[in-house]
């Protein structure tokens, strides 16, 4: 997934992985906000889509930027707001193999004495 450079390729990869329905759910969820938030620069509400965790953003970040609700994060920049937006756990997170390896080197080797 880290070698994808075009939005069309990212969409095809999502379809191949079987998570295209999550992208469709996000596209259908875009609504105009009720209340005064419209006047304060927060006109649209939209659901949150999949999170892709990579080692380096490179071309994938630019390719996935046009997909609504999709976020790209590096392993070092992960936080709870990205993993569980709105304090509700259960966001679809796609990990690259390099990201899992770096996660293991950063946080996996704890020694208890």
Give per-residue pLDDT as tens, 2-30: 588 899 999 999 999 999 999 999 999 99
Nearest to 22 by CA among 34, 4, 32, 10: 10
CATH superfamily of 7-107: Ribosomal protein L4/L1 (3.40.1370.10)
110, two tokens: 């704890």
3-state secondary structure of 64: helix
**Residue 5, pLDDT score:** 85
Question: According to DSSP H, which parts of 1-113 are helical?
Answer: 7-17, 20-28, 58-64, 80-83, 97-107
Q: Is the pTM of this model over 0.75?
A: yes
Please, are residues 94 and 51 in contact by the beta-carbon 8 Å criterion?
yes
Distance CA 52, CA 92 (A): 9
């Amino acid at each position: 997934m880290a070698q994808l450079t075009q939005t069309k390729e990212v969409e095809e990869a999502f379809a191949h992985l079987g998570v295209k329905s999550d992208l469709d759910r996000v596209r259908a969820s875009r609504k105009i906000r009720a209340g005064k938030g419209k006047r304060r620069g927060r006109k649209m509400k939209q659901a949150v889509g999949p999170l892709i965790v990579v080692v380096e953003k490179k071309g994938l970040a630019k390719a996935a930027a046009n997909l609504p609700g999709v976020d790209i994060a590096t392993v070092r920049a992960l936080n709870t707001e990205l993993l569980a937006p709105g304090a509700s756990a259960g966001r679809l997170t796609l990990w690259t193999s390099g990201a899992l390896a770096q996660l293991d080197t950063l946080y996996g080797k704890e020694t208890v004495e």
